[in-house]
Amino acid sequence: MKFFIYTSLILLVSRCRADLPVELKDFKMVPRKALDSNKIIRIPSLDEDTDLSYFDNIDNVIVIEDTGTLVVNKHKLNTAERTGGNMFAFFPDFKPDKTTWYEFKPGKSDTVLGPRLPLSGCLNSNFGDGGSLGGSISTTFGKTATLDFPWVWDLAGMVSVNLDWSPEVVSSVSYSGSYSCNIGKGETGQVFIQPFFIEVGNPQSRTIKINRGRTFTSPFSKKPTHLEIGEWGHLGKKIRLNSPFAMPIFTCTTDPRYLACGANILGDSYAF
């Protein structure tokens, strides 16, 4: 997915009376693809008699078109083990195999505004003539750049909205550029960023096992015969993901009620 936002503009934000214009220069918003080797495969539907060749490769990500659901191999859901060091050593069920897969069903998704995060410290000009408050942006929102749980919902949610779109896994978003804001005489100002998120409601999953058994044509070896599809289980009320499509809101405020002068400044990465 070749997608980014590149702009040089002035944002006028009026979320409170003391907000001032923020000037952005060379601003880029770049979704980061998953580092995994994933092959997107689309099939019309899924049942016990589905062609088992779709499950030959654990790197396959299977899109079920009639339901908008997504099927991935269980090994994809344990980044720690695949990148060196197994944080779930007590749970050996994550070892690679082709027999256990998981299907994910997202519910309704909405784009929501996240919390305000300070980009800068405070410029205190209460007893001065004012000045310019500025800096650079170089940060990434997101926890992982692999196809991992729960970030699989990112792809599942997009697939359910538009099956004509060729999906790629976007699990984090990088921002870069510079900002500036002019603080007036006798004021104290600070610049904030508010990213947007995709909230997926009522997420569900179920287990898919590849049944192996002896057949008339292969009486001495167990061959894949059919799928065993489990029951849907609910995983919680909502899952929140980074939105790769909505540009964040930048705010320069001088209202003392909204300043966070002693807060930590946004660093190179931020995980919610």
Per cent of the chain over pLDDT 90 is 21
Contacts of 116 (CB under 8 A, 6+ apart): 192, 193, 194, 251, 258, 260
Is the predicted pLDDT of residue 15 greater than 80, yes or no? no
Question: What local confidence, expressed as pLDDT, does residue 46 receive?
Answer: 93
Predicted TM-score (pTM) above 0.85: no
Q: Is 219's pLDDT higher than 60?
A: no
- Average pLDDT of the residues in 184-208: 86
- The tokens for 44 are 């019309």
Q: Could you count the other beta carbons within 10 Å of the beta carbon of residue 116?
A: 18
The mean pLDDT value for 243-264 works out to: 88
Is the pLDDT score of 181 beyond 90?
A: yes
Model confidence pLDDT, tens digit, residues 91-125? 444 455 778 898 888 777 788 898 899 999 999 98
In whole angstroms, give the CA distance from residue 208 to residue 100: 6
- Per-residue pLDDT, averaged over 146-166, amounts to 46
Residue-by-residue DSSP string for 153-173:
HHHHHHHHH-TTS----EEEE
Q: What is the pLDDT of residues 220-241, one digit of tens each?
A: 556 667 899 999 887 666 767 7
- Strands 269-270 and 131-141, by their bridges, are parallel
Residue 133 is encoded by which pair of tokens? 């408050």
